[in-house]
Amino acid sequence: MTVSSRAPAQKREITRLQELVYELRVQDAMTTKVITVTPQMTMAEFREVLRANRISGTPVVEGGRMVGIISIEDLIKALAAGELGATVGEKMTPNPVTLYEDEPLVHAVGKFSKLGYGRFPVINRQGDLVGIIVQGDIVRALLRRLEIEYHEEEVRRYRASHIFEDILADQVTLRFRYNVVARDFVRAGDASSRLKTTLSRLGIDPRTVRRVAIAAYEAEMNIVIYADSGELIVEVDPTRVHLLAIDRGPGIPDIEKAMEPGFSTAPDWVREMGFGAGMGLPNIKNCADEMRLESTVGVGTRLEVVIYL
Amino acid sequence: MKLRDVLEIIEGKVITKNTDLDLEVSMGCGADLMSDVLAFTHEGTLLMTGLTNPQVVRTAEMAGIHAIVFVRGKVPPPETIALAEEKGIALLASKYTMFETCGRLYKAGLPSCGLFEASLKSWREFFGEV
């Protein structure tokens, strides 16, 4: 499968599918209700079993033990040879290739493509027949799991939102750190994006999450535009979100001036991107309950924002 | 107003794959300044803009904007489309100017996003209104 380097979403989905065939086990995909036949049955009776159950092959079982496998291909050969009266025992493939129920699904994928069989009986480690698997089962299991994962973001959110109750301590503070790469306009905003997702998962009120995200994004853009390197450090406790944006860079000579709406030192290329209109710091201030800005020219800038929950 | 109504009113096209045309937008905002978008919009705003770089999608993500209309027939670069599809943000295109695109939607009943309190402060100071 070819993957375009320009489609990150698609790339991730394919990787997730690849992961899934390792995560899922044969038992997650197999059919447990197995139709079987005995070696004493005639091929005519076998044909009736296939027709009635709309299947194309079955394991052959005698005295509780699997002794072979027989498929529609064996039936066609018997028909062509006029041997519908022959027994299943004579026409079956003895000692069929099996899969263990606890093997990763990728083993099944490998055996299907290597051996070209239409189905594999599935056994447990004691050797008992517990199921049967065809290629369609694998696709169905993967689709089912992807569907479940689609809803899992909600579960993840639910679980994360209980973290403060689950951790037993007098005070709990979560701390996240995000690196910000200077002058990388394509990745700019990635840190704030991940922070926003994380805060949503913690179950924080969406309006509060939005305020933190906007403040973080403006701070991140300032680092990308003006600094040489920097980071966002976020601490969350049950009462507040504390955002610290630190950079190493030219610093701000006149903080009071920088806080004025409309004041900007941004170069043209930044303005062309829709930024640098002198609204970043005022925007952060509007989102914040508390804001502190310190800067040393030639060293860097430290911006602290507190938003109460 | 649903996205399918927006499309009809602006005679627009859909850019992103798997776009939910039943998505509701409750107000509109026309801006080429991303900081203005962050300052003035609310969750569920429809953004009209002439900028097409990926930061427009980032801005929308942060502001809780789920749909963007590119005006003046502008088509965004692939990285913008890829990011929008990853973030589940709908991208639409209008061949009309910013003024006409907004005007058509406003006339059809889509209200403007409200002004931010802070921006009214300088207005009041200058014009002496309360």
From A181's Cα to the closest Cα of chain B, the distance in A is 15
* Contact call for B53 and A185, based on CB within 8 A: yes
From A275's Cα to the closest Cα of chain B, the distance in A is 6
pTM for the complete prediction?
0.63
A contacts of B78 (beta carbons < 8 Å): 6
Amino acid at A237: D
* Contact call for B62 and A192, based on CB within 8 A: yes
Query: Could you give the ipTM of this predicted complex?
Result: 0.84
Summarize chain B as % helix, strand, coil (round to 5).
45, 15, 40
Asked if residue A94 and residue A21 are part of one domain, the reply reads yes
Condensed to tens digits (0 to 9), the pLDDT of residues A246-300 reads 999 999 999 999 998 889 888 888 888 888 888 889 889 989 999 999 999 999 9
Q: Any chain B CB within 8 A of the CB of A217?
A: yes
Condensed to tens digits (0 to 9), the pLDDT of residues B103-125 reads 999 999 999 887 666 667 778 88
A contacts of B64 (beta carbons < 8 Å): 206, 210
**8-state DSSP, A253:** S
| CA dist., res. B109 & res. B105, Å (int) | 6
Query: What is the CATH number for A212?
Result: 3.30.565.10
* Contact call for A189 and B55, based on CB within 8 A: yes
Residue range B47-55: average pLDDT?
A: 95
Chain A to chain B Cβ contacts (< 8 Å) = 87
pLDDT at A80: 92
Task: Tell me if A223 is assigned to some domain.
Answer: yes
Residue pair A282/A270 in contact (Cβ under 8 Å)? The answer is: no
| CA dist., res. A257 & res. A245, Å (int) | 19
From B124's Cα to the closest Cα of chain A, the distance in A is 15
CA distances from A207 to A157, A287, A288 (A): 16, 10, 12
Asked if residue A186 and residue A109 are part of one domain, the reply reads no
Query: What is the CATH number for B32?
Result: 3.40.1390.20
User: At A209, is the secondary structure helix, strand, or coil?
Assistant: helix
Question: How many domains, in total, are found in chain A?
Answer: 2
* Residue A188, domain extent: 165-308
* Contact call for B79 and A196, based on CB within 8 A: no
Task: Tell me if A15 is assigned to some domain.
Answer: yes
Find residue A122's DSSP bridge partners.
A99, A131
- By Cβ distance, the residue of B33, B34, B82 closest to A8 is B82
| CA dist., res. A111 & res. A94, Å (int) | 18
Q: Residue written as tokens 């509701």?
A: B24
Asked if residue A19 and residue A95 are part of one domain, the reply reads yes
Question: How many domains, in total, are found in chain B?
Answer: 1
Asked if residue A179 and residue A299 are part of one domain, the reply reads yes
Asked if residue A263 and residue A191 are part of one domain, the reply reads yes
Of B94, B74, B97, B87, the closest CA to residue B3 belongs to B94
Amino acid at B91: L
Task: Tell me if A20 is assigned to some domain.
Answer: yes
pLDDT at A2: 41
Of A107, A121, A83, the closest CA to residue A24 belongs to A107
The number of angstroms, rounded, from the C-alpha of A85 to the middle of its chain's C-alpha atoms is: 53
Q: Any chain B CB within 8 A of the CB of A213?
A: yes
Asked if residue A173 and residue A129 are part of one domain, the reply reads no
Asked if residue A191 and residue A99 are part of one domain, the reply reads no
Where do the H-state alpha helices sit in A135-291? 135-161, 163-166, 190-201, 206-226, 255-258, 268-272, 280-287
| CA dist., res. A50 & res. A46, Å (int) | 6
Burial pattern A251-280, b for ≥16 Cβ within 10 A else e, equals: bbeeeeebbebeebebeeebeebbbbbbbb
Summarize chain A as % helix, strand, coil (round to 5).
45, 25, 30
- Taking only the tens of pLDDT, chain A with its 309 residues reads 444 444 444 444 456 777 788 888 999 999 998 999 999 999 999 999 999 999 989 999 998 889 999 999 999 999 999 998 999 999 999 989 999 999 999 999 999 989 888 899 999 988 889 999 998 899 888 888 877 776 666 667 767 777 777 788 888 889 999 999 998 888 899 999 999 999 988 888 888 999 999 999 999 999 999 999 999 999 998 889 999 999 999 999 999 999 988 898 888 888 888 888 888 898 899 899 999 999 999 999 999 999 998
Task: Tell me if A53 is assigned to some domain.
Answer: yes
* Contact call for B62 and A283, based on CB within 8 A: no
The pairing of strands A57-62 and A99-100 is: unpaired
* Residue B19, domain extent: 3-127
| CA dist., res. A93 & res. A6, Å (int) | 49
Other CB atoms closer than 10 Å to residue A141's CB: what's the count? 22
- By Cβ distance, the residue of A186, A216, A275 closest to B54 is A186
